[in-house]
Amino acid sequence: MSAQFLQLQDIFIRTKEAAQSFMKILEPTIENAKEEHERLYFHHIYEEEEHRLDRLESVIPKLEYFLQNMDGQHTNNHEFVKLLQDVSLEKFGLHNFLEHLDLALFQFKSTEHENTLQGLRDLTYNDYQKSKELLQVLNDQFDGAANSAASIPTDEKEGINEHLKIEKYTTESPASRSSEPIGKPAKRLTVGSLKTKKEII
Amino acid sequence: MSAQFLQLQDIFIRTKEAAQSFMKILEPTIENAKEEHERLYFHHIYEEEEHRLDRLESVIPKLEYFLQNMDGQHTNNHEFVKLLQDVSLEKFGLHNFLEHLDLALFQFKSTEHENTLQGLRDLTYNDYQKSKELLQVLNDQFDGAANSAASIPTDEKEGINEHLKIEKYTTESPASRSSEPIGKPAKRLTVGSLKTKKEII
């Protein structure tokens, strides 16, 4: 399973750097926020990504350990099973990051950060899809040990009211890669949009 | 450690019900959202809380197991250490829920949901403080096994730019229990505020 772990290691290191770039964009927005609601909103997303960074910093060395110690890769090894579950949690983390980036793309539209955010978004979309494939391979190999009910986002759950899902996250079609609403004209939004964003930054 | 686990069990069952109540409030807002940004924003918070619910549903039976099997409560037991780390993650989950509720209190201000949200907010604030105390006792007892770097929110971290923190989450003074900005007049906000909220619901 070294091939899968090597790819996961790449994804985790890449998304760690992406999260740090994202947080750098958010920092002045939090610091210069003129309203408590705006400040809480960006602080909240920043904090969640910092939390994810802490988790990634914890899981990456464990991944590296099992890359060096392949003998330990079996389901009787509690530490290995724990790693598989941690990897599963980070799959959800990538989905969550994707939504953070899409929310930011609404708010930073037409600012100097738009291109960077779109790049991070595209990277994260691809890495999320890849992480799902890798988890599937690991689950097949290790009797479902990497499977976690708590790693499936609402968008991909069965038996959920479809109106609560976001279409672009439920499919893997090329169209779903766009950050723009599908079939609707692109327009500026009232909720959460920062009309004064250019002045703030 | 049964006393601590019983209290954690109470907190987790209580916050599970609170998350479900919160999600019920969010559902029509997602379904009736008029803009993609608004829909993504509420969907995103809903999805995070659903993810937390999934985790709580996984951790509560484990807590109950160790309440029935006290002999297994030692740091040589991998399952027990895993439980302590899961509990630590749920401490962060409570902090995150607190911020979701505070964000919602801005958006649902002066609606029929304000009182319910304030009640959930006060409950969650108290349960978060209590969970920190309980984790401290468990860490003292079990050699820090319940300690996780990934369970400390930005607001409580040392060495972090203070401008990135939200003051009301950094202290435990009675004033911090208020959902209103401290020392600033309460006012409606542009970012994320739903001016048409009453019409939507």
Q: Are A101 and A120 in contact (CB under 8 A)?
A: yes
Which among A79, A106, A148, A164 is the top mutation candidate for probing chain B, defined by the most B β-carbons within 10 Å of its own β-carbon?
Answer: A164
State mean pLDDT over B96-107.
97
User: Which pLDDT score, from 0 to 100, does residue A15 have?
Assistant: 98
DSSP of B151-171? G--GGG-TTS-GGGS-HHHH-
CA distance A86 to A171: 25
CA distance A77 to A79: 6
Is the pLDDT at B192 greater than 70? The verdict is no
Our CA-based measurement puts residue B56 at a distance from the nearest CA of chain A, in whole angstroms, of 9
User: Which pLDDT score, from 0 to 100, does residue A147 have?
Assistant: 80
User: Which pLDDT score, from 0 to 100, does residue A1 have?
Assistant: 61
Reduce the secondary structure of B94-125 to three states and give it as a string: HHHHHHHHHHHHHHCCCCCCHHHHHHHHHHHH
- Tens digit of pLDDT for each residue in A23-45? 999 999 999 999 999 999 999 99
Q: How many CB pairs under 8 A join A and B?
A: 145
Mark yes or no for CB contact A37/B192 under 8 Å: yes
Among chain B residues, CA nearest to A83: B82
Nearest to A35 among B51, B166, B189 (CB): B189
B48 contact residues in A (CB cutoff 8 A): 48, 96
B82 contact residues in A (CB cutoff 8 A): 78, 82
Nearest to A192 among B41, B46, B47 (CB): B41
Is the pLDDT at B77 greater than 80? The verdict is yes
Mean pLDDT, all residues of chain B:
85
Whole-complex ipTM: 0.84
Our CA-based measurement puts residue B49 at a distance from the nearest CA of chain A, in whole angstroms, of 10
Per-residue pLDDT of chain A (201 residues; tens, 9 = 90+): 689 999 999 999 999 999 999 999 999 999 999 999 999 999 999 999 999 999 999 999 999 999 999 999 999 998 999 999 999 999 999 999 999 999 999 999 999 999 999 999 999 999 999 999 999 999 999 988 888 777 789 888 888 888 889 888 886 544 444 444 433 333 333 334 333 333 333
Is the pLDDT at B116 greater than 60? The verdict is yes
The model's confidence at residue B172, banded by pLDDT at 50, 70 and 90, is low
A37 contact residues in B (CB cutoff 8 A): 103, 106, 189, 191-193
Is the pLDDT at B186 greater than 50? The verdict is no
- Residues with Cβ within 8 Å of residue B70, at least 6 apart in sequence: B1, B2
User: Which pLDDT score, from 0 to 100, does residue A52 have?
Assistant: 96
Mark yes or no for CB contact B57/A149 under 8 Å: yes
User: Which pLDDT score, from 0 to 100, does residue A172 have?
Assistant: 56
User: Which pLDDT score, from 0 to 100, does residue A195 have?
Assistant: 33
Nearest to A153 among B47, B149, B189 (CB): B47
**CA dihedral defined by A120, A125, A130, A133, rounded to 10 degrees?**
160
Mark yes or no for CB contact A181/B51 under 8 Å: no
Mark yes or no for CB contact A150/B193 under 8 Å: no
Among chain A residues, CA nearest to B149: A54
Q: Are B48 and A45 in contact (CB under 8 A)?
A: no
Mark yes or no for CB contact A149/B54 under 8 Å: yes
Nearest to B35 among A40, A99, A189 (CB): A189
Is the pLDDT at B55 greater than 90? The verdict is yes
Mark yes or no for CB contact B40/A149 under 8 Å: no
Mark yes or no for CB contact A194/B191 under 8 Å: yes
* Length of chain B as a residue count: 201
Question: Which of A124, A72, A109 is CA-nearest to residue A189?
Answer: A109
Question: Residue holding tokens 């091939």?
Answer: A3
Mark yes or no for CB contact B37/A195 under 8 Å: no
DSSP of chain A? -HHHHHHHHHHHHHHHHHHHHHHHHHHHHHHT-SSHHHHHHHHHHHHHHHHHHHHHHHHHHHHHHHHH-GGG-STT-HHHHHHHHHHHHHHHHHHHHHHHHHHHHHHTTTSTTHHHHHHHHHHHHHHHHHHHHHHHHHHHHTTTTT--GGG--GGG-SSS-GGGS-HHHH--SGGGG-SSPTTS-----STT--TTHHHH-
Nearest to A102 among B40, B55, B102 (CB): B40
Tokens standing for B46? 């809903």
State mean pLDDT over B137-165.
85
The model's confidence at residue B189, banded by pLDDT at 50, 70 and 90, is very low
A103 contact residues in B (CB cutoff 8 A): 37, 40-41, 44
Kindly list the domain boundaries of chain A, sorted by start residue.
2-200
Mark yes or no for CB contact A192/B37 under 8 Å: yes
